Amino acid sequence: MTDALLELQDVAITYATRGGEVEAIRRLSLRLEPDEALGLVGESGCGKSTVALSIVRYLGRTGRIARGRILFEGRDLATVGDAELRALRGRRIAMVYQDPMASLNPVMTVGRQLMEVPMIHDGAGADAARRRALAMLGEVKLSDPEAVMDRYPHQLSGGQQQRIVIAMALIAEPALLIMDEPTTGLDVTVEAAVLDLVRELRRRHRSAIVFISHNLGTVARVCDRIGVMYRGELVEDGPVRRIFSDPRHPYTRGLLDCLPTLGRDKRHAPLVPIPGHLESSSSRPSGCGFAARCVHVEPARCTVGPIPLAPIDGDAGHRAACVRAAELPVWSRRRAEAPAAGAAVASTALVATEHLGKLYRPRRGLFGRRRPGVRALSDVDLAAGRRQTLAIVGESGCGKSTLAKVLAGIEVASEGRVSLDGVEIGGLGIDARDRRLKRKLQMVFQNPDSTLNPSHTVGYAIGRALRRLRGGAPADAAAGVARLLEVVKLSPAMAGRRPRQLSGGEKQRVAIARALAGDPDVIVADEPVSALDVSVQAAIVNLLAELQAARGTTLIFISHDLAVVRYLADHVAVMYLGAVAEFGPVERVFAPPWHPYTEALLSAVPVPDPDAVGGRIVLEGAVPRATERPRGCPFATRCPRKVGAVCDDTPPPVQRLADGHRLVCHIPAAELQRLQRMIAGP
Amino acid sequence: MARFAAKHCAFLLLTLSVVSFLVFALNEFSPGAVARKELGAYATQEQVELLTRQLGLDRPLLVRYADYVGKVARGDLGYSARFKAPVTGVIWKHLRNTGLLAALAFACIVPFSMLLGIAAGMRESSRLDRAILIFSTVMASIPEFALGVFLASVFVVWLGWLPGTATLVAGGGWSVGAQLVLPVAVVVLFDSGYVISMIRASMVEVMQRPYIRTAVLKGLPFRAVILRHAVRNAMITPITVILLQINYLVAGVVVVETVFAYPGFGRMMLEAALFKDIALVEAGALVAVSLAVVTNILGDAAYMLLDPRIRA
């Protein structure tokens, strides 16, 4: 066996808190060979970021490596001196972070931030450093590197910023690159481009990678090996193909089962959430940390003593920390029986928009000049029937949230009509809507942390919504709160808790319960699961589907995640720059012929399958600013299937296909179908 | 940049006209009051009415205000009843004295506060941080007069190193320089306490930002992390507040000026108000307001200079 580049031996990491020392990493061993890419996956709180930061010994004032050794090129990082550590950081071990905007100094040009690295590590002069920075910017495929050097971070898009951070990490040719959720928060098309770049640079620079992500799909795209973490321990590791085809730990299986993919929908392959939730690491039982949530648990064997990560017979390099690893049934992606809910029947539209437009006119300052307005929505025609889910997808800035705001009355339409159950509401702000209208349409937001008042109890928040929307005596409210909590599968005892005592998933359930207080006909959910872990996301998505089946609620589901949309939606609208590019029943939209933009979005979705192939389309460039809308097709500037000047100059026609499927493109649908068949495969 | 200047100049003029009108109106609203203030409590009603007519004070308020604005525009600020001299000269003399005190104090406050604030904030809850925090809190909470009296009793009464008054007249064997030490020291200590805690708080926040982590993990020495990446970011929030200290230093150091008998602007305004010296109060208010607006503009400009994000 060759010498490992990085080796963690029985590492334990603790954080000092007011309640004493808390073990974030319990006992972790792993090896990384030179130019190998290891993915670490797990849900929030599993310790994966702590592992990353311990490798660069950046654990803050409260964290410490309590036990074990972290060997990098043979040296123990836990004990090297400060000067030696500084020489390693940035030079031999570099890091790429989750939020590129926050990771770059806002008051320094990106050029200077890049040049710093060769200047401190190699003693390069300013000119030499500048040349290296320019070359590196070319390698990360930023156009016009000279101009980019003089920009400040806020003048770049999220994807460009992350390329800068990657360039900064690779400029010193490190032996080890640590990437901590490098694509979380980026749009799916940008994510795909960044992941492609990482794969390419990896081949060229031969750096080893530790790639941390909660998303199994992104890990599958980049890594050779995967380690699955749960509660501060590695529960399974092995070659990426083995993990995806034959997961041996019940937690890994649970993660895969609750992951929506482009092939699953709520009627054919429901998501299976992992029961229970991640307990805090202080109340750790002896034995398997996952036992309390495991469907295969055998208390007599699982909870008696520590369970080591053991090799699996006949499967080289694959290890699992489960006493039953060898005896578990063969895993296949679960396809549970379909729920009883009937198929979506086309019904009259409960919510519909016609030629809806929204123009933001900037307010004129006292001395300011008038600037052009920003067109957030233009000519949006959509409809959703009772008991149906209409999903709206698109990259950030496509107008999907503006649409939600207009529906909810936070903004009013500037053109066109919006009808709710026959009543025109496009011009009615929330204050102009009477209680009956408000009851009919309620909203659930992305981040439950910021929508629940931290100083109010859950019971108060829901009770208030009940009183405002239903009226009635406060005495009835308590019973109403308990009933609503039960509907969202929370214990009625939760009514006395405050938001900070709840987990992310529980908070989102409370937000849903609050939206249900008025027994609405329509729920508008704006990215309701994007801030949640996959297992929690599965439970919330299922909850929404069940509520819809039981109550006949219409759901307008806004999301950037195509897999979730595929799973939950009956109808899908794909939006780009405020306009609808494609609309139709979910099976139609997700099958050829696709609008070229839909095609690009679909091909960008990271598939949790290392063998997934297909003609992938990577979109170049960024979404144009809303103030610089192209004259013709809004997508023309980035479209890989652009046919010519007609795309730039003439707005594309709406092509109406079967089942109300609409496609806004110059290329005839039949031609698109022919082109896309060739790459879509079976 | 031209737009920035034009916008702020317009704002300055607007503020000045509003404030001057308010001060004018408050002081002169009732026609009899001005003459009564001029003549004192023992004048007869006839004398008051005569003066009122002579001064044209029986005309409508707006007419008199227009008249006043016209005079001010020509540089005529009126005659000070208290100092028996034209207001312009009186104000100029006191403003110069205060300017000296303020400039010396400001030149000490900024580097002193930055040094301590940054040293404290760069390692939150270290021993150094706690020591500086205690120092700044104590300094900011002792009232100025107590601090003045305390320093005076130590250095004047007990040690006899410094004079107890700062009249800026080189008499009594003390140079003007020596006279300035105590007033400047009191102002600096009192004001720094506040500015240090502002800078420290901002620095603590900046040190927790991800870009500081990026800088550390690039392998930069701690010193470079602080100087190159932290300081400029940490100064963005406090910079406006620091520039606003100029207002306090010019118009607000009444207590210190009184304690040390310093012939400054703050004490002049106090005397003018007590003496009902209307012309001087009005002119003084105009000066103070202009200064406040100018420091605000400076604050905005400094803010733009430090933070490229708002330059656009």
Q: Is pLDDT of A548 > 80? A: yes
Least reliable range by pLDDT among A22-26, A97-101, A491-495, B23-27:
B23-27
CA distance A534 to A254: 10
- The Cα angle at residue A128 between residues A123 and A130, in degrees rounded to 5: 110
* pLDDT (0 to 100) of residue A167: 93
Minimal Cα–Cα distance from B203 to chain A, Å? Answer: 14
Mean local confidence (pLDDT), B79-106: 89
The one-letter amino acid at A300: A
* pLDDT (0 to 100) of residue A615: 53
- B278's enclosing H/E stretch is helix B278-306
Mean pLDDT across chain A, nearest whole number?
A: 86
- Residue pair A664/A654 in contact (Cβ under 8 Å)? The answer is yes
Mean local confidence (pLDDT), A176-200: 88
Beta strands in A541-682, from DSSP E residues, in sequence order: 554-559, 571-576, 579-585, 654-656, 662-664
Has this prediction a pTM greater than 0.95? no
The DSSP output letter for A94 is E
* pLDDT (0 to 100) of residue A27: 87
Mean local confidence (pLDDT), A393-416: 89
SS3 call for B32: helix
Cα separations (Å) of A344 from A270, A348, A392, A555, B160?
16, 12, 17, 12, 95
CA distance A432 to B217: 54
Which residue has tokens 């870009």? B211
ipTM: 0.82
* pLDDT (0 to 100) of residue A280: 59
A122, closest residue in chain B (CA to CA): B219
Query: Going by C-beta distance under 8 Å and a sequence separation of 6 or more, which residues neighbour residue B88?
Result: B75, B76, B77, B283
Cβ atoms < 10 Å from Cβ of A83: 8
Q: Which residues of A touch B229 (CB under 8 A)?
A: 105, 108
How would residue B160 be classed by pLDDT, with cut points 50, 70 and 90? confident
User: Where do runs of H (alpha helix) occur along A592-666?
Assistant: 596-604, 645-649
Cα separations (Å) of B143 from A2, A611, B113, B196, B249?
71, 74, 19, 17, 15
Mean pLDDT across chain B, nearest whole number?
A: 86
Minimal Cα–Cα distance from B214 to chain A, Å? Answer: 6
Q: Which residues of A touch B228 (CB under 8 A)?
A: 108, 116
Tokens of A161: 């910023």
* pLDDT (0 to 100) of residue B69: 84
Q: Which position has the higher pLDDT, B188 or A536?
A: B188
User: pLDDT (tens digit, 9 = 90+) per residue, A493-502?
Assistant: 888 888 888 8
Report CB contact under 8 Å: B308, A107. yes
Report CB contact under 8 Å: B6, A367. yes
* pLDDT (0 to 100) of residue B128: 95
Dihedral (Cα; A231, A235, A241, A246), 10-degree rounding: -120
How would residue A337 be classed by pLDDT, with cut points 50, 70 and 90? very low
Q: Which residues of chain B from 234 to 263 reach within 8 Å of chain A, CB to CB?
A: 236
* pLDDT (0 to 100) of residue A560: 87
ω into A668 cis (within 30 of 0): no
Architecture of domain B91-311: Orthogonal Bundle (1.10)
Q: Is pLDDT of B24 > 90? A: no
Query: Going by C-beta distance under 8 Å and a sequence separation of 6 or more, which residues neighbour residue A31?
Result: A4, A6, A7, A8
Query: Going by C-beta distance under 8 Å and a sequence separation of 6 or more, which residues neighbour residue B7?
Result: A366, A367
CA distance B285 to B291: 10
User: Where do runs of H (alpha helix) occur along A590-655?
Assistant: 596-604, 645-649
The one-letter amino acid at A118: P
> How many inter-chain contacts (A to B, CB under 8 Å) are there?
77
* pLDDT (0 to 100) of residue A318: 92
Q: Is pLDDT of B89 > 80? A: yes
How would residue A46 be classed by pLDDT, with cut points 50, 70 and 90? confident
Least reliable range by pLDDT among A582-586, B154-158, B214-218:
B154-158
Cα separations (Å) of B161 from B56, B147, B158, B172?
55, 17, 8, 13
Q: Which position has the higher pLDDT, A668 or B62?
A: A668
How would residue A335 be classed by pLDDT, with cut points 50, 70 and 90? low
- The Cα angle at residue A330 between residues A328 and A336, in degrees rounded to 5: 100
* pLDDT (0 to 100) of residue A373: 75
Spell out the domain ranges in chain B. 2-76, 91-311
Dihedral (Cα; A381, A385, A391, A394), 10-degree rounding: 0
User: Which of B217, B225, B227, B239 is the best mutation test for A, with the most CBs of A within 10 A?
Assistant: B217
Mean local confidence (pLDDT), A175-195: 88
Mean local confidence (pLDDT), B172-186: 85
CA A133 to chain centre: 31
Cα separations (Å) of A625 from A185, A188, A628?
19, 18, 5
CA distance A124 to B25: 68
Which residue has tokens 């009191």? B186
User: pLDDT (tens digit, 9 = 90+) per residue, A4-21?
Assistant: 899 999 999 998 888 888
Least reliable range by pLDDT among A50-54, B166-170, B304-308:
B166-170
Tokens of B240: 């406006």
Q: Residue A429's closest CA among A408, A451, A444?
A: A408
Which residue has tokens 């495929």? A141
Query: Going by C-beta distance under 8 Å and a sequence separation of 6 or more, which residues neighbour residue A659?
Result: A584, A585, A588
The DSSP result for A536-562, as a single string, is HHHHHHHHHHHHHHHH--EEEEEES-H
How would residue A93 be classed by pLDDT, with cut points 50, 70 and 90? very high
* pLDDT (0 to 100) of residue B30: 57
Mean local confidence (pLDDT), A80-89: 91
* pLDDT (0 to 100) of residue A341: 42
Report CB contact under 8 Å: B307, A105. no
Report CB contact under 8 Å: B309, A168. no
Least reliable range by pLDDT among A116-120, A672-676, B30-34, B125-129:
B30-34
Tokens of A411: 């903004």
- Residue pair A132/A110 in contact (Cβ under 8 Å)? The answer is no
User: pLDDT (tens digit, 9 = 90+) per residue, A354-402?
Assistant: 999 998 876 655 555 556 678 889 889 999 988 899 999 988 888 888 9
* pLDDT (0 to 100) of residue B46: 81
Burial class (CB in 10 A: 0-12, 13-18, 19+), A612: middle
A56, closest residue in chain B (CA to CA): B217
Report CB contact under 8 Å: A58, B213. yes
SS3 call for A353: strand
Mean local confidence (pLDDT), A302-327: 87
* pLDDT (0 to 100) of residue B54: 77
Report CB contact under 8 Å: A97, B210. yes
B231, closest residue in chain A (CA to CA): A107
CA distance B27 to B9: 27
Q: Which long-range contacts (CB under 8 A, 24 or more apart) does A251-255 make?
A: A251/A290, A251/A293, A251/A294, A252/A228, A252/A320, A253/A331, A254/A293, A254/A535, A255/A41, A255/A43, A255/A216, A255/A228, A255/A534, A255/A535
User: Where do runs of H (alpha helix) occur along A39-157?
Assistant: 48-55, 82-88, 100-103, 110-121, 126-139, 145-149
How would residue A212 be classed by pLDDT, with cut points 50, 70 and 90? very high
Q: Is pLDDT of B23 > 90? A: no
CA distance A151 to A493: 53
Q: Which long-range contacts (CB under 8 A, 24 or more apart) does B99-103 make?
A: B99/B250, B100/B180, B101/B180, B101/B183, B101/B184, B101/B187, B101/B249, B101/B253, B101/B262, B101/B264, B102/B246, B102/B249, B102/B250, B102/B253
How would residue B274 be classed by pLDDT, with cut points 50, 70 and 90? confident
CA distance A581 to A599: 11
Q: Which position has the higher pLDDT, A282 or A668?
A: A668
How would residue A283 be classed by pLDDT, with cut points 50, 70 and 90? low
User: pLDDT (tens digit, 9 = 90+) per residue, A610-665?
Assistant: 776 555 777 877 777 767 778 889 998 888 888 888 998 899 999 998 888 999 99
Mean local confidence (pLDDT), A193-219: 89
Of B211, B219, B229, the CB nearest to A120: B219
Least reliable range by pLDDT among A54-58, A435-439, B175-179, B243-247:
B175-179
Q: Which residues of B touch A120 (CB under 8 A)?
A: 218-221, 224
Q: Which position has the higher pLDDT, B312 or A210?
A: A210
How would residue A338 be classed by pLDDT, with cut points 50, 70 and 90? very low
Both ends of chain A: CA-CA distance in Å? 42
How would residue A681 be classed by pLDDT, with cut points 50, 70 and 90? very low
- The Cα angle at residue A311 between residues A309 and A317, in degrees rounded to 5: 110
Both ends of chain B: CA-CA distance in Å? 11
Q: Which residues of B touch A86 (CB under 8 A)?
A: 219-221
* pLDDT (0 to 100) of residue A336: 47
Tokens of A544: 């929404």
* pLDDT (0 to 100) of residue A368: 52
CA distance A676 to B189: 75
Dihedral (Cα; A575, A577, A581, A587), 10-degree rounding: -20
